[in-house]
Structure 1
Amino acid sequence: MKIDTPKIPEELKDRRFTDLFYEEDPEFEMCMVTDSDFANEALDRVRLYKTVIRNCNFTNTDFKRIDLTDVVFENCDLSNADLGNASMNRVEFRNCKLLGSNLTESYIGNTRFKESILNMVAFGDSKLEKVIFDGAALESADFFDCKLKKVEFLTCNLNGASFEDTPLKGIDISSSNFDSLIVSIENLNGCTVSTSQAIQFAALLGLKIKQ
């Protein structure tokens, strides 16, 4: 699947993330932010456009209603950050940590989570469109009542992930691995799985399989 990638200009202005406190509107455009520590802070409705964020710490930070367009996060820690009601388009998270982060009630489009840790992330009530989870750890992630459209899980760890009330029609999880998955049988209709996964689901149904 092809998704739109972030459009980042060649020339970016160096900024510190704390500079946002002094802006009339908390907004960065065409910026490079490196090595900023912004843990345990709170900023409502931050807007980031055409910006690269590298080696930054955002643990426990309140970023509710954050608006991201053409943004790359690289080697950043957003563990337990609150990104509820976020809007994302053409965003990449590369080698980032979002352990236990909140992304509920968000729109996430044309976004790639590459080699990132998203264990226990809450995506509940979100719409994900053209999203690629690429080598991501999604253990115990919660996709409750999400709308998934053109979403790919490539070699991910989905162990214990919950897809309660989320239809998986058109979704391919065949290259990912899990010991258990929380999903209702009717919502598996149209989902692509591997042979070994099919056997796992059959066992959950109580079927006995003869080789």
Structure 2
Amino acid sequence: MKLDTPKIPEDLTEKRFTDIFYEEDPEFEMCMVTDSEFANEVLDRVRLYKTVIRNCNFTNTDFRRIDLTDVRFENCDLSNANLGNASMNRVEFLNCKLLGSSLTKSYIGNTRFMESILNMVTFGDSKLEKVIFDNAALKNADLFACKLKKVEFLSCNLNGANFDETPLKGIDISSSDFDSLTVSIENLRGCIVSTSQAIQFASLLGLKIRQ
């Protein structure tokens, strides 16, 4: 699957993330933000456009209703951040940490989470469209009642992930690892799995497979 990647110009204005408090509206456009400390803050409805965020700390920050378009996060820590009701389009998270973050009731489109930690992230009631999780850790991630369209999990750790009330038809998890998943059999229909995963699911159904 091919994603629309962030459209970010080369000529970016350097900023600290705290500079956003001096903007008329809480937004950055065509900025390069590096090595900023922005933990335990509250910033509602922040808008980031055509911007690169690199080596920044946003742990425990409340970013609810954040609007991201053409944004790349590199080596950032967003652990326990509140990104609920977010809108994302053409966004990349590269080598980022989103441990325990909230992305509930969000729209996430054309977004790649690459080599990132998303253990215990909550996506509940979100719509994910054209999203790639690439070599990402999603242990105990909660994808309750999500709408997934053109979503790929490539070589991910899905152990303990919750897909309750989330249809997985057409979703490929065959290259990912897990010991257990929470998913109903009816929502598993049409999911693309490997042979070993098929055996795992069969054993959960109580089937005895003769080798």
1:99-133, Cα deviation, whole Å (9 max, x unpaired): 00000000000000000000000000000000000
Which whole-Å CA distance do the structure 2 matches of 1:96 and 1:10 have between them?
A: 22
- State the partner residue of 1:87: 87
1:25-70, Cα deviation, whole Å (9 max, x unpaired): 0000000000000000010000000000000000000000000000
- State the partner residue of 1:18: 18
Stretches of structure 1 that go unaligned for 5 or more consecutive residues are none
Q: Which stretch of the first structure deviates more once superposed, 14-23 or 94-103?
A: 14-23
Q: Percent identity?
A: 85
Which whole-Å CA distance do the structure 1 matches of 2:58 and 2:102 have between them?
A: 13
Pair 1:4 & 2:4 matched: yes
Which whole-Å CA distance do the structure 1 matches of 2:174 and 2:121 have between them?
A: 21
Which whole-Å CA distance do the structure 2 matches of 1:94 and 1:105 have between them?
A: 23
Pair 1:145 & 2:145 matched: yes
1:58-98, Cα deviation, whole Å (9 max, x unpaired): 00000000000000000000000000000000000000000
Which whole-Å CA distance do the structure 2 matches of 1:170 and 1:193 have between them?
A: 10
Structure 1 residue 20: Cα displacement: 0.8
SS of the residue 1:202 aligns to? helix
1:143-169, Cα deviation, whole Å (9 max, x unpaired): 000000000000000000000000000
Query: Over aligned residues, Cα RMSD in angstroms?
Result: 0.3
- State the partner residue of 1:57: 57
Stretches of structure 2 that go unaligned for 5 or more consecutive residues are none
Q: Report runs of 4+ in structure 1 exceeding 2 Å deviation.
A: none
Opposite residue 191 of structure 1, the aligned amino acid is C
- State the partner residue of 1:202: 202
Which whole-Å CA distance do the structure 2 matches of 1:19 and 1:12 have between them?
A: 15
Q: TM-score, normalization: structure 1?
A: 1.00
- State the partner residue of 1:99: 99
Q: How does 1:152-163 map to 2 (within 5 A)?
A: 152-163=152-163
- State the partner residue of 1:45: 45
Structure 1 residue 24: Cα displacement: 1.4
- State the partner residue of 2:117: 117
Structure 1 residue 23: Cα displacement: 1.1
Opposite residue 108 of structure 1, the aligned amino acid is I
Opposite residue 209 of structure 2, the aligned amino acid is I
Which whole-Å CA distance do the structure 2 matches of 1:107 and 1:85 have between them?
A: 7
